[in-house]
Structure 1
Amino acid sequence: MALFRLTHPPAPPGVGESCLHNQLSRHDCEACVAVCPVQAITATATTPTLNALDCLRCGRCLFVCPTDALQNIRPETRHYTASTLVAPFSTLEPCVDELLMWHQQHGIRAVEMEMEAFPGWVRAVAALNIRLRELNAPVWQILPPQQKAINAGRRHFIKASETDVQSATVNIGRRARRQALSAISEYQLLLDRAQCTVCGACTRVCGEKALSLSEGALTFSSSSCTGCNSCAVVCPVDAIRIEERVGENMTLRFPWHQKTCRCCQRAFYTFNAETDRCAICQRHQYGMREA
């Protein structure tokens, strides 16, 4: 009997410090909660809680988190030959976001399987093809299994293997998907310029640097946005929000003007060239700030 354990047990899965709830206490992100097939992740007043005993380690949460906050979970290792995924297949079908990364990262364009045996996979490929059509990308096919030249049941004895079959995983998270699909945007900025005070809070909280305030304009780069919506959470006047919308990558530029408030004589910024009072003075309807 061994007196000492030479290996440490693997760390349990959990939610790390980069979770948006740890960055902004008012954040309402529940992306990982929504995709968990067994409700192993639950929303709490602070950071979402992951129950390691219930977790299937399917990895679906990995592909929707905008900040890569999930820890000690790995995506499924899958098998492929050339541009086709092949058996063995996981019992639980992959999510569309994972299949999209297989499409971009490994050039997969088909799945070789019996449709009756894996109805979940059939639904996943159908959902993927809907997304691929939105992206104007080639769709996947489901191919019937081919007869193998080697009897898999006797492979152990003859020491033979199918050299053309490879195994791999894909990169996880929305950040990786944005890099893989840099020519396509998945999120768009909606800005109410009449309401916005150009305070810059949204640009300071944006971890992806999709928003910037420089060179006389507020700039939004859709290729970098992961849809975390932190900009909307910190906006004091609810002038900004991010909408999920597939389209061509673009950079939006909203020029601002530097003015001097006629009431308090302080410098301020505005999108309206005709505005002559800062946002604070505009709230004082009876000229309380005027000298």
Structure 2
Amino acid sequence: MTRFSLMQTPAPPGVGESCLRRQLPRHDCEACVTVCPVQAITATATTPTLNALDCLQCGRCLFVCPADALQNIRPETRHFTASTLVAPFSTLAPSVDELLMWHQQHGIRAVEMELEAFPGWVRAVAALNIRLRALNTPAWQILPPRQKAINTARRHFIKASEVDVQSTTVSIGRRARRQAFSALSEYQLSLDQAQCTVCGACARVCGERALSLGEGALTFSSSSCTGCNSCAVVCPVNAVRIDRQLGDNRVLRFSWRQKTCRCCQREFYTFSDKVERCFICLRHTYDMREA
């Protein structure tokens, strides 16, 4: 048994192997870099680098990462009673993405605070309400602090406590947000069927299984998409695009057909009935591959 385990230094925060930049060298994801309030995360050619000395452990990066790649960082523990967040509050205001999870996971609908004392929180709630309005969901309120019935300075004498106040965290990442808001989607697929060669690269790279190729069609389920954009990164003909678009969940089905190229006689796949040559032969404008 290891002795003095409580004295061990905790592992520093960092970026794990599941980072999209590590998985796909061409990927340009900068979700964590963009939201870091102190620029503790910087993007390099292969992967973001996290400076543990600058990191505030605020957890904002946790809620935007599409691959849950951040390590040794925990979301802020917050306090609430019934449907209201209560003091103590963090100096740095939470992100809208975190507040959305409090809204959905714990049914929070208000914050109890003094407006002048926490201007950052006021702005965060205002931004949250704009997002909630787009979701047709009840907005949050900011309530004045209630007068405490118990003198907390003498609490250790009278053995009383505010039993209705709880503390916890919320789930992190875009995957968790997709599950929490399962009836809505944040991203939609645009497919250029004239350019697509039905190679299946987009479906194979999709870690969320939002894209699948089989049974005569390429299928996209918007409820599973986290907007990681890996499908667009690996597409060799730039036929795939993921757009940020809030709406109801949709399942798009693009039916493909198996045909025989009239030039090289090889089988190929296409979305169009009019195409008679495979995509390789189409690039040979002088019919160099004519059988």
Superposition TM-score, scaled by structure 1 size: 0.97
1:138-177 aligned within 5 A: 138-177=138-177
Identity %: 82
Query: Do residues 61 (structure 1) and 57 (structure 2) align?
Result: no
Residue 117 (structure 1) aligns with: 117
The amino acid across from 2:179 in the alignment is: Q
Deviation of the 1:160 alpha carbon: 1.6
Residue 257 (structure 2) aligns with: 257
SS in 1 for 2:147: coil
SS in 2 for 1:116: helix
SS in 1 for 2:76: coil
Kindly report the root-mean-square deviation, in angstroms, between the aligned alpha carbons of the 2 structures: 1.1
The amino acid across from 1:68 in the alignment is: D
Query: Do residues 201 (structure 1) and 180 (structure 2) align?
Result: no
Residue 34 (structure 2) aligns with: 34
The amino acid across from 1:167 in the alignment is: S
SS in 1 for 2:281: helix
Residue 86 (structure 1) aligns with: 86
Residue 46 (structure 1) aligns with: 46
Residue 18 (structure 1) aligns with: 18
Residue 188 (structure 1) aligns with: 188
1:269-288 aligned within 5 A: 269-288=269-288
Give a deviation string over 1:1-49, Cα, whole Å, max 9, x none: xx96753110000000000011100000000000000000001111100
Residue 135 (structure 2) aligns with: 135
Superposition TM-score, scaled by structure 2 size: 0.97
Residue 235 (structure 2) aligns with: 235
The amino acid across from 1:181 in the alignment is: F
Take 2:205 and 2:181, find their aligned partners in 1: how far apart are those partners? Answer: 23
Task: After superposing the two structures, state which structure 1 stretch, 4-13 or 272-281, moved more.
Answer: 4-13
The amino acid across from 1:131 in the alignment is: R
Take 2:246 and 2:54, find their aligned partners in 1: how far apart are those partners? Answer: 34
Deviation of the 1:153 alpha carbon: 2.2
Give a deviation string over 1:91-145, Cα, whole Å, max 9, x none: 0000000000000000000001011110000000000011111111111111111
Take 1:271 and 1:54, find their aligned partners in 2: how far apart are those partners? Answer: 51
The amino acid across from 1:163 in the alignment is: V
**Which 5+ residue runs of structure 2 have no aligned equivalent?**
none
Take 1:154 and 1:250, find their aligned partners in 2: how far apart are those partners? Answer: 57
The amino acid across from 1:205 in the alignment is: V
SS in 1 for 2:149: coil
SS in 2 for 1:91: coil
SS in 2 for 1:236: coil
Task: After superposing the two structures, state which structure 1 stretch, 148-157 or 243-252, moved more.
Answer: 148-157
Residue 220 (structure 2) aligns with: 220
Give a deviation string over 1:178-217, Cα, whole Å, max 9, x none: 0001100000001111111111000000000000011111
Take 2:228 and 2:190, find their aligned partners in 1: how far apart are those partners? Answer: 14
SS in 1 for 2:220: strand
Take 2:91 and 2:4, find their aligned partners in 1: how far apart are those partners? Answer: 36
The amino acid across from 1:179 in the alignment is: Q
Take 1:152 and 1:260, find their aligned partners in 2: how far apart are those partners? Answer: 81
SS in 2 for 1:242: strand
SS in 1 for 2:155: helix
Take 2:105 and 2:6, find their aligned partners in 1: how far apart are those partners? Answer: 37
Residue 9 (structure 2) aligns with: 9
Deviation of the 1:245 alpha carbon: 0.7
